[in-house]
Structure 1
Amino acid sequence: MTDLDRDPWHPARPTAPTGGTGRQSGFASLRVRNYRLFALGQTTSVVGNWMQNIAVGWLTLELTHSGTMLGVVTGARYLPILLLGAWGGLVVDRHDRRRLLMLTQMCFAVEAALLTALSWAGLMTLPTLVVIMLTIGCTNVFDSPARQSLISELVGPEHLANAIAINSTLVNTAKLIGPGLAGVVIAALGVTPCFALDTVSFLAVIASLAALRTAEMRPAEREIPAGGQIRAGIAYIRRTPELLHPMVMVYVTGILTWEFPVSLPLLTTSGFRVGPAGYGAAMAFMSVGAVLGGFVAMRRGRVSTRSLSVSALIWGALICAAALAPSLPVALVLLVFVGSGSITFNASAKTLMQLEATPQMRGRVLSIWSIGWLGGTVIGAPAVGAIGASWGARSALLVGGLAAAGIGVTMLALSPAGRAQGHR
């Protein structure tokens, strides 16, 4: 059996064309039963996860009345990704991703149940909460690359961009539902039911993973354990421009641009002086834009380093415009487009890296993406906050826009024109 026979994603194997324009049906990947089940479970879980996020923030403020401690608790969730992300990707490359994902979901359920029990019993303390957040972060070290790379095993490469865009759209839709539902539940019953509902939500993911038809999946060949495989993954990215260029863009924007939980409160409260309601409106308008942008991204069948660079440039320009908006209503309108640009950039970057990475390296590639996009918050959030404190509220958002636009221009200069993906 040749590599081509053994691996349906082998670079030499042709795939179905996506059409002359690279566009396809906006819901093409939902025709795949396995992906429908996965998407349903993930959407349910994200609603529960955002209820947990809001409840953890509220509980932290109840315990400490300190914004600084809220930052510490939030950072604890992402610190393990920053420190252990590459190792987590290697573990994913060595094991069955579906089974590994079922294990991480069980761990998440246990952690959420622990939050529920301690909150219900009135035994939660700040150190305990930080430890639980660190534990959740450690679980996410394996969950994030396993979840992202499993998508490529559920659908063919011709539907991968569509599947990632649908996943991003559903996640942003859940982000609109989860916080609002959490607010109602906390106001009526307190934080404990939010933790309980989050615990139940993980059962939906476990059930959807158990129901997948493994015979219809496209499992990647597992990496055989050997020394130096994390270094090999990093070296593979460095010598592959189609991976290195998107990865550089992800790191720059992940650290400096994707810090809206820091930059938007500064813009609304200190810049426009409208208080928490203004911040809530800004996040809501941006989330609506992300959902709308997701529907556009769902119809894209081809992605290239050049198109990703253009996305970064446009996204950065929109962020700069929002940062310089003369009034809050103008800023809110612009934030709809910022949200749309964020989903276009993020979905395109993940699609490009999944298509370009060989199956044996996909877990490590996506884990290194997670380090920049998620773990970068540990570095970026304090840095952007310090910029806003030193140079004014608008500067926190403006620096992110300049970073995105600048890296977009840089990569446009380095990327060969017209190298479109989606042909593998």
Structure 2
Amino acid sequence: MSQGAYPHPIQVPAYRLYLIGRLSAVLAQYAMMLVIGWQAYNIARETMSTAASAAQLGFIGLAQFLPLFLLTPLTGWVADHFDRRIVARWSLALQILCALVLGLATYEGWASLPLIFTLAAFLGTARAFNGPALTALAPNLVPREILPNAIAISSVAWQAGMIIGPALGGYVYAIQPAAAYGASALLYVAALLCMFLIGKVPQPEQDRTRHPVAQMLDGIAYVRRNRLVLAAITLDLFAVLLAGATALLPVYARDILHVGSAGLGHLAAAPAVGAGVTALWFSFRPIKSEVGLKMLVAVIIFGLATIAFGLSTWVWFSLGCLVILGSADMFSVYVRQSLIQLHTPDEMRGRVGSVSQLTISASNELGEAESGFLAALVGPMAAVVLGGIGAIAITLAWVRIFPELRLARTFDPPESAADRRPRENVR
């Protein structure tokens, strides 16, 4: 199969199914994350103070993060040694079950904090297996010649779902709380159907002579050796971990901007607008030069927008800050995920993907915990501002610690770039 046969990844039927499935799953995942946080915060506010209720958002984040933290070596190994479609199917089925139980409990009025925490842990377990399997599956579906474009589109779909999902969850929850979980369940079902429709894919060759535990640790070892991959992964971990403004949107919607559940949907949608415009731009004008430096600038803009949002008490200005925040985040993730995927061999993508997912989850779910606990200590506005300052400080530190990131000119691995340079005439 040549690049001429498929000039664009979307023309590959299996990849098209994959893209629809992944987008559906990410939309459902992040819609539920917002709804779970909003519901837990409201239940807690019936009997607790604002500070104590904000801390519940931290516990929700921990409940989703701990299973992923404990299972990361196993989930990456599973994605590299078993059919990635089947791994994704089972994990999606578990997420459907969790969404249905939460929807039923909300509709019938027996939803409680212990139930929400328990199902949040099950969701974290399912995502621990789902993420590496889906991430590593994409490169198996398209020819090598169009793989960079396929990875970029997949990254854009993931980021778009991550930002649009909360907006979807917020709007549907405002109409009918139980329907928000029902919508997530339907999206998970769509993703599951796509995984069943994708035909058999080749499995990478693995060394069967080494102990599975040693193989599980290979992903961590590879990330440590490849400084560019290490820099990209850890920048996301620390910068977004600190700047967790979106984790406190329920607090801002209810107690600072006073816009209620409908306003929560607007706040959650604002980053989606910025991300959507940026994704549309990338679809026509992909980044081709100085990718590392541009990513670093995007993270600094992300931090500045977070600070501005944290200080704002005017809803329209807050929405504008969130639009910029979403655009900068999309830019950063597009570059980061493309670098990680293209600098990792296929037989390692599941394990490296699990390490990358751990840092993404740490920056999201653990970032929610950090933001919730810090908000309980110093107040939500101060917590957001300090997070934005921290993200900028981390980025500036990474410029010095990892010059490889700043010097990354293109997405190509060094050997690929060298292969494409004209050879000098040998005299």
- What range is the shorter-chain TM-score in? 0.7 to 0.9
SS of equivalent to 2:388: helix
What is the aligned partner in structure 1 of residue 386 from structure 2?
A: 396
Map 1:73-84 → 2, pairs under 5 A: 73-84=60-71
Which amino acid letter does the alignment assign opposite residue 274 of structure 1?
L
Match for residue 272 of structure 2 among 287, 290, 296: 287
**2:20 matched to 1:40?**
yes
Aligned residues: 392
Q: Output the CA distance in 1 between the equivalents of 2:247 and 2:167.
A: 19
Which amino acid letter does the alignment assign opposite residue 258 of structure 2?
G
**2:152 matched to 1:162?**
yes
SS of equivalent to 1:91: helix
Q: Alpha carbons of 1:55 and 1:177: their partners in 2 closer, same or farther (altered >3 Å)?
A: closer
Asked if the contact 1:37/1:212 (under 8 Å) is kept, the reply is yes
Q: Alpha carbons of 1:274 and 1:175: their partners in 2 closer, same or farther (altered >3 Å)?
A: closer
Match for residue 307 of structure 1 among 285, 291, 294: 291
Which amino acid letter does the alignment assign opposite residue 298 of structure 1?
S
Sequence identity, in percent?
Answer: 20
Asked if the contact 1:255/1:379 (under 8 Å) is kept, the reply is yes
CA RMSD of aligned residues (A): 3.5
**2:135 matched to 1:148?**
yes
What is the aligned partner in structure 2 of residue 99 from structure 1?
A: 86
What is the aligned partner in structure 2 of residue 185 from structure 1?
A: 176
Q: Output the CA distance in 2 between the equivalents of 1:91 and 1:415.
A: 30
Q: Alpha carbons of 1:314 and 1:84: their partners in 2 closer, same or farther (altered >3 Å)?
A: same
Q: Output the CA distance in 1 between the equivalents of 2:182 and 2:26.
A: 14
Which amino acid letter does the alignment assign opposite residue 39 of structure 1?
L
What is the TM-score of this pair, normalised by structure 2?
0.78
Once the two structures are superposed, what CA deviation does each residue of 1:78-127 show, in whole Å capped at 9, x if it has no partner?
Answer: 22112322321122111111111111112222222333444455444432
**2:395 matched to 1:405?**
yes
Unaligned runs of 5+ in 1: 1-7, 9-14, 18-23
Q: Which runs of 4+ in 1 moved over 6 A?
A: 265-270
What is the aligned partner in structure 2 of residue 368 from structure 1?
A: 355
Asked if the contact 1:168/1:343 (under 8 Å) is kept, the reply is no
Asked if the contact 1:321/1:334 (under 8 Å) is kept, the reply is yes
After the TM superposition, which of the residue ranges 236-245 and 348-357 deviates more from structure 2? 236-245
After the TM superposition, which of the residue ranges 366-375 and 237-246 deviates more from structure 2? 237-246
Q: Output the CA distance in 1 between the equivalents of 2:36 and 2:373.
A: 24
Q: Output the CA distance in 2 between the equivalents of 1:59 and 1:162.
A: 34
What is the aligned partner in structure 2 of residue 56 from structure 1?
A: 36
Unaligned runs of 5+ in 2: 417-427
Asked if the contact 2:166/2:268 (under 8 Å) is kept, the reply is no
Match for residue 167 of structure 2 among 176, 187, 190: 176
Once the two structures are superposed, what CA deviation does each residue of 1:300-331 show, in whole Å capped at 9, x if it has no partner?
Answer: 65678x62343123331353255247864455
Once the two structures are superposed, what CA deviation does each residue of 1:328-375 show, in whole Å capped at 9, x if it has no partner?
Answer: 445543432221110111122111111111111111111111111112
What is the aligned partner in structure 2 of residue 296 from structure 1?
A: 281
After the TM superposition, which of the residue ranges 398-407 and 352-361 deviates more from structure 2? 398-407
Q: Output the CA distance in 2 between the equivalents of 1:418 and 1:400.
A: 24
Q: Output the CA distance in 1 between the equivalents of 2:174 and 2:28.
A: 13
Q: Output the CA distance in 2 between the equivalents of 1:175 and 1:252.
A: 22
Asked if the contact 1:185/1:194 (under 8 Å) is kept, the reply is yes
Asked if the contact 2:73/2:351 (under 8 Å) is kept, the reply is yes
Q: Alpha carbons of 1:289 and 1:136: their partners in 2 closer, same or farther (altered >3 Å)?
A: same
Map 1:194-343 → 2, pairs under 5 A: 194-214=180-200, 217=201, 219-222=203-206, 224=208, 226=211, 227-257=213-243, 259-262=244-247, 273-276=256-259, 281-299=266-284, 307-320=291-304, 323-324=307-308, 328=314, 329-343=316-330
Q: CA deviation at 1:61?
A: 4.1
Q: Output the CA distance in 1 between the equivalents of 2:390 and 2:250.
A: 14
SS of equivalent to 1:228: helix
Q: Output the CA distance in 1 between the equivalents of 2:281 and 2:406.
A: 25
Q: Output the CA distance in 1 between the equivalents of 2:317 and 2:41.
A: 31
Asked if the contact 1:268/1:279 (under 8 Å) is kept, the reply is yes
Asked if the contact 1:161/1:300 (under 8 Å) is kept, the reply is no
SS of equivalent to 2:360: helix
Q: Output the CA distance in 1 between the equivalents of 2:137 and 2:186.
A: 22
